[in-house]
Amino acid sequence: MNPIELSLFSSRLAAVCDEMGVVLRNAAFSTNIRDRLDFSCAVFDANGGLCAQAAHIPVHLGSMAFAMADLVAGQDWTPGDMVIVNDPYLGGTHLPDVTLIAPVFVASERVAFVVNRAHHADIGATAPGSMPVSRTLHDEGLVIPPSHLIRAGTLDQEHLARLIGAMRNPTDAQGDFMAQVSANRCGVARLREWVERQGVAVFQAGLGELDAYAERLARQLIGALPDGIYRFVDVMDDDGQGQTDIRLEVALEIAGDRVSADFTGTAAQVPGNINCPLSVTAAAVYYAFRCLMPAQTPACAGAFRPIRLSAPPGSLLNARFPAAVAAGNVETSNRVVDLVLGALAQAIPERIPAASQGTMNNLAMGSADPAAGWDYYETLGGGMGSGAEGGGWSGVQTHMTNTLNTPVEVLETRFPLRVTAYGVRRGSGGAGRRPGGDGLVREFEFLAPAEVTLLTERRCHGPWGLVGGGAGAVGRNWLDGQPLPAKVALQVAPGARLRIETPGGGGWGDAGRGVPMES
């Protein structure tokens, strides 16, 4: 293919992912998928290599890229199949993220897979929102091993009934599962039409050229970095079970056009739920380097071939079953990005921004009485770290997620909640020649009894600045004016008010040098 043909080929693959996302959003029942867009869609080749992805959730997509080959090899595939899985130790991230995988066959030959992953606000945990302050994986909800939800086009009704029977709101759960099925059916149809028109050989050759092009761009980027070993250390606030200042460490070795990230020195896995399966750690590493690659780099497996990583088995970043992982996917993944960027800042300080908020500020809540049937989950934006030429945005999601907020109108219509404050947390960004972005303030009043879980980070150690820039302000959690821990489960009465103040981003550059610039 010439460059124009290859660009069109790449764009068409991405368009399939985009259309799958539109179908999933429009068909979903839950606010988490329909309004917050907490889902991702991708196309993989016949062996499970990533070919294309929409601009959805980095932690979803990077972990799928790391684990799909094993999932593909472990199943028998026939036309019309769909396999469902959420097991974090078999290619998932955490239990609420449910993945559906469908093969694409053309003339009896398997040519590709389409995949979507969506976060279900209820996956059967005892705590509403299925993001508990857990101690084992089994506290976190229903574990779904790779299994056929659809075989040769026929839905396994008994399997579906078992899944939705574990949920607080089976109507929403069934609607979301079928929305995922619909998205994959759309992707299968679009790919089949395309491949039948141009031929299997042309399609496969195009995938090969796309991978090779992405790998060339990745190796050019890494090859331009100064060789060396760059180390960085940070800490997680706590695990919710009494462990504090939990060590994260990376040694980033750049050698020619290859890079390896070694997490030896990171703490052992902990009793709380901030542990990561290796697939989540990989997603964070891939993301950090993907941000440095040229914008036209295809989002496919070739872009990640020059990147290797290792983490000691049984460590926080390569946890062993049945370690709890609910917050590892959302909190620790962001901090792995901080770790990799902190190491890269030693090699290319002019290209790396200060630390962003470093947390998703997870809020899960619902009725204390499961029969009442409401569950709510949201992540909150905060401050983005600033860099030499940009960044420093306020009140945004950063790094491993790019979900929307739940609109106030939707939240107050569907749940017994009232939003009493929502705005920018002025002055929370770190000082600097380019100040860090400010966090958010979001306050909820409860109109009915509820159970609430908070899984948050950066409540003790603010996001670091760079090149003389100041740290962003730490986040704060409050209930009726009283401070709450970073990770906590509690019951609230009608009239109670929960206030979350999210961290600011780190500043870049010495504020005493030059005139401060607008973020």
- Is 79 or 56 the better-scoring residue by pLDDT? 79
Asked if the model's pLDDT at residue 334 lies above 80, the reply is: yes
Overall average pLDDT of the 283-302 stretch: 93
Residues in CB range of 184: below 8 A, 6 or more apart: 20, 82, 100, 101, 102, 114, 115, 116
Asked if the model's pLDDT at residue 348 lies above 60, the reply is: yes
Q: Which helix (H) or strand (E) holds 338?
A: helix 333-347
Residues in CB range of 249: below 8 A, 6 or more apart: 231, 232, 233, 263, 264, 265, 266, 339
Asked if the model's pLDDT at residue 293 lies above 70, the reply is: yes
Per-residue burial over 129-160, b = 16 or more CB atoms within 10 Å of its CB, e = otherwise: bbbbbbbebebbbbbbebebbbbeeeebeeeb
Q: How confident is the model at residue 512 (pLDDT cuts 50, 70, 90)?
A: low
Overall average pLDDT of the 271-282 stretch: 96
Q: How confident is the model at residue 92 (pLDDT cuts 50, 70, 90)?
A: confident
At 272 the pLDDT is 98
At 517 the pLDDT is 42
Q: How confident is the model at residue 518 (pLDDT cuts 50, 70, 90)?
A: very low
Helical pair 170-198 and 157-165, crossing angle rounded to 10 deg: 140
Q: How confident is the model at residue 519 (pLDDT cuts 50, 70, 90)?
A: very low
Q: Quote the mean pLDDT of the chain.
A: 94
Asked if the model's pLDDT at residue 66 lies above 90, the reply is: no
Pairing of strands 307-310, 258-262: parallel
Overall average pLDDT of the 401-423 stretch: 95
β-bridge partners, 117? 40, 99
β-bridge partners, 477? 500
The dihedral through the CA atoms of 465, 430, 331, 388 has a sign that is: negative
Overall average pLDDT of the 282-292 stretch: 94
Q: Find out whether 280 and 333 touch, Cβ atoms under 8 Å.
A: yes
At 91 the pLDDT is 80
Q: How confident is the model at residue 64 (pLDDT cuts 50, 70, 90)?
A: confident
Q: DSSP 3-state assignment of 171? A: helix
Q: Give the model confidence (pLDDT) of 102-135 as tens digits.
A: 999 999 999 999 999 999 999 999 899 999 999 9
The DSSP letter of residue 238 is E
Q: DSSP of 404-439, one letter per residue?
A: PPPPHHHHHHHSSEEEEEEEEETT-SPPSSBPPPPE
* Strands in 186-255 per DSSP E: 228-238, 244-255
Q: Find out whether 484 and 501 touch, Cβ atoms under 8 Å.
A: no
Distance between CA atoms of 180 and 385, rounded to whole angstroms?
34
Q: How confident is the model at residue 370 (pLDDT cuts 50, 70, 90)?
A: low
